[in-house]
Structure 1
């Protein structure tokens, strides 16, 4: 199984346990038992039926190892009885259904007396665990669809994109898009900004700024747009312990708060814009931020008992999960792509060549990076294998490589005598040029490359 398949399975497992992590489940065992009634569509593995203890095992692995703990690597029969066959299991279920109130001890003795099981091969405790795991609870009433609102800030954010006004750019008019995240409990706008595009990169910028400013939410609720269905976004949320939920297709009623905010923007902000404020994206955002801070955020809201969104958020600021480890936070927001290292220890990202250690040639690795690193020769891309960082990739400088002395050039015997003191070519070929700065070395206290 390749890395892409293992990652897809891990994300699917996280989506199953995420309601428990976000606190939306009252009883974990009942929730998992309900899930075990129906088959689960698992990427690359097909449709399978899981025991509820398997779901509990995934939850335990996530708490202990994070997202990496959800990647395949456990026994294939984990969570299933290895002593009770399917035929024997059907007979045990049949007896249990006929006698639901019969104690397991008496049921076990009856199975022995009728020679259905052999007590030397199957213990009473094994039968007890099998019955406890497979007997289905009584049918519950179907759930209701109710209007909801969370009580405290940070419990749930709603995110969406609104089509904004056109801006004259040269001889053409260009569409703008307003990205926004709103806190469900306080109606406070976590972060919002106009962009010329509505893609994953603009979403990533908006979400990162929102979390740095107002903490990490337990739940993010969005529509089914392509940018919100991105696997990159799933990895960001999973790495931060944040559950990502999507509304049903063509059912916007669950996102009423963000839709109502967009209506407020149209009525109270866009309708009052002057032509001077629409001459550039910068002037539009400047006017929008001024209106947001002075009008909406500090205006009394009818659903908040006369309080302002800003006041409600400040009153419960102690419940917000703030970012404490900035380095780990930034690492979770790195873009992730899979690349195979060529025989010459190079990889290509966005049509740009990078080089790494020769020992990594031929391996398929996960590359993590910020988009601006691609054009910055002082930044190195991070290389991971099985969730562990194993190296870096530096942008190739063809001019510098042309002057690196190769091993055994021309006459091999003569060159060998002249290059006794020359270090191994792998060190020279990947050495940082003298006219650049290695921030990795500076972080370790080294200054040789300055």
Structure 2
């Protein structure tokens, strides 16, 4: 089981205990009993049954250690089946390839009748999981029942945010016309855009920037509801939400009705803002965003909304300001939003990130560790990247300085392995920082106050 799968399992566990953490259930034990009454489709394992006490232990582990407490440890015999021998595994694979449509139950019964499987040693679910792990079993589910669609609205601000991306106007930069994209998170109860901004791309970096600005300004929501876009389903974004303690939900593919409020907001932006805008007068992205921010403050946020009983989004937000889970520790939030990558440290205590060679303490040699960073840190050769193990910071990685290392004292005999010269600049990171340039950055404002 690789790191990505282990994290996927942790996120699945978090999705189950999420309603308890967010206060959506009145009785924890009854909720866990209800969930445990049917199999849970767990990543890597498939449908599995758990006792309600196991689910309660997940909640306990999360309360003690955060999202890291839900990550499974490595098996000593990982990569191997404990009950299926290599010979039996080969027989199962061959039969499955010969007849992909054969039911697993029938395949299992055939192997039992031929004496190749002893039922008391190898159960049918074991064979099922073995085939699924080899990616030889496809899932074909049918649902003839017509889904029910009901209008909904959460009672309090901060209970749920809806997020989406809208195609914006083209703007001229130099001699090129470039498409813009409007990232938005809107509060479900108040229809208040907790943060929205135009960007020059729609990727994970722009999503991460907009969501971080929303959290810093309007607190941490209980639920985040988005579509099934690639950036919203990225494990990095799921881990950010889980680290903050909010549950990430996705709407059904090709069913936009559940995100009606953010879709209606996009319609308002097109009709009341973009329709009055002359794209030829836009100087740059900053100019577009300044006009958009002004329109939000002067028009949308202060305008009465028929879905809010005639109140404005600003009025509803301010009337429930005490309900917001506002940020009190900015450093902690910054840590949650760091990008996470897993790297194996080489025998010479080095590893590469975007073709930049970093070195660590020799005690990490041969280990797989998690490194967290901001993209702009890769442009600063003096910046050390924090190293984490089991969710705890245990060291740093710094850019290799070859000339300094030539005169450094060695703790062991022999020379380090030769490595390519470090490139101190990274064009992709620089371009990313330009794409998410923000004329009003809340995090920078707060840092400025701390320095006064």
The reply to whether TM is greater than 0.5 is: yes
Give the alignment of 1:7-406 within 5 angstroms. Answer: 7-72=7-72, 145-404=149-408
CA–CA distance in structure 1, aligned partners of residues 308 and 411 of structure 2: 74
Quote how far apart the aligned CAs of 1:27 are. Answer: 3.7
1:170-194 alpha-carbon deviations (Å, 9 max, x no partner): 3322111000000011111101100
Quote how far apart the aligned CAs of 1:357 are. Answer: 0.8
1:312-352 alpha-carbon deviations (Å, 9 max, x no partner): 11111111101111111111101001100011111111111
SS in 2 for 1:229: coil
CA–CA distance in structure 2, aligned partners of residues 3 and 365 of structure 1: 10
CA–CA distance in structure 2, aligned partners of residues 31 and 408 of structure 1: 57
Contact 1:338 1:367 in 2 (8 A): yes
Quote how far apart the aligned CAs of 1:143 are. Answer: 10
SS in 2 for 1:282: helix
TM-score, normalised to structure 1's length? Answer: 0.72
Unaligned segments of structure 2, at least 5 residues: 76-145, 417-452
User: Residues 384 and 59 of structure 1: is their aligned pair in 2 closer, same or farther, counting only changes over 3 Å?
Assistant: same
Please report the RMSD computed on the Cα atoms of aligned residues, expressed in angstroms.
Answer: 2.4
Contact 1:21 1:243 in 2 (8 A): no
1:357-413 alpha-carbon deviations (Å, 9 max, x no partner): 112111110111111111112321111122222110001223333343568999xxx
Contact 1:277 1:287 in 2 (8 A): no
Contact 2:195 2:210 in 1 (8 A): yes
Deviates more, 1:229-238 or 1:302-311: 302-311
User: Residues 288 and 409 of structure 1: is their aligned pair in 2 closer, same or farther, counting only changes over 3 Å?
Assistant: same
User: Residues 161 and 358 of structure 1: is their aligned pair in 2 closer, same or farther, counting only changes over 3 Å?
Assistant: same
Bigger radius of gyration, 1 or 2? 1
CA–CA distance in structure 2, aligned partners of residues 358 and 200 of structure 1: 33
User: Residues 306 and 365 of structure 1: is their aligned pair in 2 closer, same or farther, counting only changes over 3 Å?
Assistant: same
CA–CA distance in structure 2, aligned partners of residues 271 and 381 of structure 1: 46
Structure with bigger RCO (C-alpha 8 Å, 6+ apart): 2
1:5-29 alpha-carbon deviations (Å, 9 max, x no partner): 4322211110111122223334433
SS in 2 for 1:190: strand
CA–CA distance in structure 1, aligned partners of residues 221 and 412 of structure 2: 59
Unaligned segments of structure 1, at least 5 residues: 76-141, 411-424, 426-450
Quote how far apart the aligned CAs of 1:71 are. Answer: 2.2
SS in 1 for 2:169: strand
Contact 2:171 2:280 in 1 (8 A): no
CA–CA distance in structure 1, aligned partners of residues 56 and 32 of structure 2: 7
Quote how far apart the aligned CAs of 1:276 are. Answer: 4.5
CA–CA distance in structure 2, aligned partners of residues 262 and 220 of structure 1: 18
CA–CA distance in structure 2, aligned partners of residues 292 and 408 of structure 1: 63
CA–CA distance in structure 2, aligned partners of residues 38 and 392 of structure 1: 44
SS in 1 for 2:231: helix
CA–CA distance in structure 1, aligned partners of residues 383 and 262 of structure 2: 38
CA–CA distance in structure 2, aligned partners of residues 277 and 298 of structure 1: 26
User: Residues 250 and 26 of structure 1: is their aligned pair in 2 closer, same or farther, counting only changes over 3 Å?
Assistant: farther
Contact 1:22 1:218 in 2 (8 A): yes
Contact 1:159 1:182 in 2 (8 A): yes
CA–CA distance in structure 1, aligned partners of residues 300 and 290 of structure 2: 15
Quote how far apart the aligned CAs of 1:32 are. Answer: 2.5
Contact 1:160 1:223 in 2 (8 A): yes
Alignment correspondent of 1:125: none
Quote how far apart the aligned CAs of 1:302 are. Answer: 1.1
SS in 2 for 1:7: helix
CA–CA distance in structure 1, aligned partners of residues 72 and 231 of structure 2: 27
Quote how far apart the aligned CAs of 1:304 are. Answer: 1.4
Contact 2:164 2:185 in 1 (8 A): yes
CA–CA distance in structure 2, aligned partners of residues 318 and 28 of structure 1: 25
